[in-house]
Amino acid sequence: MLRKAAVLVGMSVSVVHAQDRSQSRSMVASQAGIVASESVLASQVGARILEHGGNAIDAAVATNAMMGLIAPMNDGVGGDLFAIVYEAKTGRLYGLNASGWAPAKLTPEYLAGKGITAMPQKGIHSVTVPGAVDGWDKLLRKFGRKSMADVLAPAIDYAEKGFPVGEVVSVFWKDSEKTLKEDAATTKTYLPNGRAPASGEVFRNPELAWTYRQLAKSGRDAFYKGEIAQKILASSRSHDGTMAAADLADFQGEWVVPISTSYRGWMVHELPPNGQGIAALEMLNIMETFPLGAAGQNSVQALHLMIEAKKLAYADMQRYDADPRFTKIPTAGLKSKEFARDRARLIDAAHANCSVPAGTPMGTDNGTTYLSVVDKDGNMVSLIQSNYASVGFGSGLAVGGAGFAFQNRGGGFTLNGASPNILAGRKRPFHTIIPAFMEKGDVRIAFGIMGGFNQAQAHAQFVSNVVDFGMNIQGALDSPRFSKETFEGCDVNFESRIPEAVRQPLTSMGHKLVMRGDFSATRMGAGQAVMRDFSTKVNFGASDPRKDGAAVSELRIR
């Protein structure tokens, strides 16, 4: 039965219907490695690393470095990173949390002294220590075959010689112009002609090439203790920031154990808090109490139940999620089947709930890039990396002379003293970015979908598309999505491909639909996925049409 399930996942679009399907493109299938990212150039770079003897981890870091150049509003070395690694030789999963902490002096009291009463979402006080470079270092040291210099070489070359800006990226760049013009160093880096580069226009970033060269020569220490650190600290001081040398030098990411739940025979894995992966698992557990497959994909009943499950899971996430080093989080209770059954009983099958309180589990304790890689040996990486706000390039501030923007992940904190997520020095904020992984029998899938608070609910929809509705990974990414950005109320974003015949009954049930485009990257995020069938040793890749990307196979089997 497991082997049959694996075949169905890989081949769910039959030959009979090959000319009459709703899927945007076919999966990439290869016996060699595959890289799926939101840039064709970045995926090609990762594939070349595989061709030259690198493994999935080497390719993931090389691809991520390219994305920091190609989509600088979304990610880069000024941001944070999370990853799940599947090691084929041991069959083990490893989790990496490379999210940075707040500067020691950035406290609620400090902000209050400046008259700031709400957590800043832009500017220097929204900046925490960037964790991405430490994440690259930990990934390469533990699993890689290549050096930091090897994997950064392609991005250095593109940064110096330039690349044509992509269609989707150019829109985010244009939308950020006003913010980028407010700071001289940021303008110099990202508006070289006094404006955002247009789609197809060649952009160069020699300052980022310099930064990557320092990393290639001296590794992570260049960023946290060396010449790059000096530029970071100088930029912070110029904006009256609190970042100190020790905040950078003392920082270390950490290896963590992924958290998991079963969903109709599949195991789904996320990372533990301070990210929102726990909400994806709770949402799936609630969904599992209902026969969604019988209801039909994107049917009135299925969508209503999934939207209501989202509200319940997110209410609990908002109440409990934070840095586990500072507060006891009831992770086991939140992902338990018993708690999900209790929460599911609150769903009214005929009416939308516009005010959902958090539950009490046992043991009560948008600017992003996602990529996934599988190599010929079956090693897999699910990696997500982010500046947080895409419009405005994270904090809106570039590091002078270094070619990258500071993230604004500190905006994930609150100044509400009753919240476990209240700002504190050396504390990590709540994070929206989450990588994911799922498995059954001989099949492994590394996947993720970007987009702020969209992510956990989009993960649950992807899993449901594969498990409940028999879609392959490309179809599961393509499928129309909903996304409820808010915690309160009955508003919910719908892609316009969901038909009126479904939308009208949902409106009658109390859902307040906000219609978006056919493929809404801004509201629904965009994802990537790779899959391996270990019984046949065949790999598959998929890339979301909501972005500029592609899944690319290496050209030969080594």
Beta-bridge mates of residue 553: 34
Q: CB–CB of 391/547 below 8 Å? A: no
Closest by CA position to 438, among listed 265, 212, 203: 265
Q: Which amino acid is at 549?
A: G
User: How far apart are the C-alpha atoms of 346 and 333, rounded to whole Å?
Assistant: 17
Alpha helices (H) in 288-353, listed in sequence order: 292-295, 300-320, 331-334, 337-344
470 sits in the region (left: phi over 0; alpha: psi -120 to 50; else beta) called: left
Q: Could you tell me if 219 and 77 are in contact, meaning their C-beta atoms sit under 8 angstroms apart?
A: no
Q: Which residue has the tokens 């999620």?
A: 321
| CB of 375 closer than 8 Å to CB of 59 | yes
Task: Check if 522 is active-site.
Answer: no
Residue with tokens 């999966």: 27
Give yes or no for a contact between 485 and 453, defined as CB atoms under 8 angstroms apart: yes
Dihedral sign for Cα atoms in the order 336, 338, 342, 344: positive
Radius of gyration of the chain (CA): 22
- DSSP assignment of 32-81 equals S-EEEESBHHHHHHHHHHHHTT--HHHHHHHHHHHHHHHSTTT-STTSEE
Nearest to 98 by CA among 74, 86, 75, 82: 82
Q: How far apart are the C-alpha atoms of 434 and 438, rounded to whole Å? A: 13
**What Å distances lie between residue 534 and 147, 242, 442, 530, 539, CA to CA?**
28, 50, 5, 13, 9
d(CA 93, CA 305): 31
Q: Mention every residue, 6+ apart, whose C-beta is less than 8 A from residue 82.
A: 95, 96, 97, 98, 99, 135, 271, 275, 383, 384, 385, 431, 433, 434, 435
The whole-angstrom separation of Cα 313 and Cα 164 is 41
Q: What is the dihedral of CA 26, 31, 35, 36, to 10 degrees?
A: 20
Contact in structure between 317 and 276 (CB atoms under 8 Å): yes
Name the active-site residue from 368, 369, 432, 522: 368
CA-based end-to-end distance of the chain:
33
Cα gap 556→558, rounded to integer Å? 6
Q: Phi and psi for 267 in degrees, rounded to 5? A: -100, 130
In angstroms, rounded to a whole number, what is the distance separating the alpha carbons of residues 287 and 271? 20
Kindly list the catalytic residues. Answer: 368
